[in-house]
Structure 1
Amino acid sequence: QNGTGGLLGLYSRDARDDFTLPTGQQISLQSTQEDIHMRFGKAWRVQDRVSVSDVTQVASLFHHDAIPFAFYDDPNFLPEFGLPPRLPDWAEHLRPEMESVCADSIPCQYDYVMTFDKEYAKVTKQHEAYALFLANEAARRYPRCPALPKPLNGRKSENRYWPGTIVRFSCDDGYRLVGYEARRCREDGLWSWGVDPECISDLKYTGRIAGIGVGIILPIIIVIILVIGCFIYSRRNTKEHYTGEPGIQQPFMEYSNAKQANESMPGGGKAIKEIETSAREAEC
């Protein structure tokens, strides 16, 4: 870049210096076709080298099977500068044919007037249509997904990120892939959802799997221990009975034990019998 010269310009991405002469001077972009040909085109004309010491002449870039360059070049040639070119008076009868072949294509009309060959003009029109197609495609904006880096100690299958592209990831020997193995570039320019892939060593992978297993099993064991503890606690309280008062539950001795204790006391047997009589009357 910025190191070329000639008919293609300086390759500087600046259109204003496209018409730079060998002397470094520049021709205006608004110059006429004839002025560009006479001042710019002829200034860069390549001639056959007559003498190696002649610095005013340069060698042709191409070898033409020993045919001298002058065979291909006519310094006195003047192109048709008018666009579109005018048909000669003697060829006016060919205008309908030119219009049917070229329509409004100026390059096609130009080649038809220069050659009077309709097949040649058709090819020119086809090339013009293809050039316009390429220009439109180059100017068209396509969605593109952002670049996906390959995982460390791994690789990816694609370096293109157009919609519909599927990128697959894999790891080198001795490593395991963690995350999504494949991602797809969507039509909106975003990647399909997924965890970024990572390549980890086999030892680290085994430790990670063991950690996940412990994290799952340990809560289950804790729950089982709590259930067993609750069950044992409830079994130990099976001898406790409800006293009849809301919210109060307290243990007391069995009736037979209380009866024996009261009968052993002076006058206790009579009290027990009165209680039993009152209980039977209440049941009736």
Structure 2
Amino acid sequence: MPKQHHQTTISKPDTKKVNSRYLNPKDDFAFKHIFTKETHLDLLMHFLNAVFKGKKVITKVQISKTEHKGNQKTDRKSVFDVHCTGADNEKFTIEMQKESSPYFADRLLFYAAILIQEQGKSVDANWNYKLPEIYFVAILDFKFAGMPADQYIHNVSLVETKSNLPFYKKLGYIYIELPGFNKTEKELKTDEDKWLFCIKHMGDLKDIPVSLKDDEIFNKLFKIAEVSNLTPAEMNAYQQSLKIKRDNYNHDQYILQQGEAKGEHKKAVEMALKLKHKNMPQVEIAELTGLTVEEIEAL
């Protein structure tokens, strides 16, 4: 009998549950998909160079295994990050923070301290404490309270306050507020403009902007971000990421509704007490407040 050959077929990813043509870089899966794959590191390097605008030139990056996600529920649902190392051993952490959280600046300083301390591990006993350059880039989907309202990019470093001279040049923070970036497609001039526009709007776009079509890097970005180009495994991971996002949203809405319900009930009780003190009949109080007669009697 002739030997039968079984051909393995890989089904195309199911995109029916996804409404957008492109991934939204503000979502966990998309952020990692765009910036952490070995074949996509040119995008990561291009983004970093666009953000640093010549103050720091990155010629090579490699993804680090370290993750510094917080253990708080707000961290787990709203923060995702990429850690990489430059050609000169510089350390970069790029975070996408979707929601504001209590003590946001404290949190970043805390994880910076961990990253700095890690540099002293597994070194010789006679280590002289020389550290690599360490930079944090935080992309915020909210306005950072306390920062100048007329700016959407904030560069933070250690300086001597009287002279404004740098105290330590190898630690820097860059905060990017996406809500403050309002340039239209026709206003995109710099690579930084183009990246921020894509990160903010890609999930809503129907096609690559005309002004980016002749740019090799952004053509690659839109190609790998197109939902129809995902493998079945990638689509499953993306669907799971969307499910988590929806579950978090539904949970938050439930908590909000519960809080609103408690607030309304509290107002009703306060009104019922006032009316009860005025000797209004309990049946009428119940009609006005929505409380039951039994609840009013118990007040």
TM-score range, shorter chain: under 0.3
TM-score, length basis structure 1? 0.23
TM-score, length basis structure 2? 0.22
Of Structure 1 and Structure 2, the greater strand share is in: 2
Higher Rg: 1
Higher relative contact order (CA 8 A, sep 6+): 2
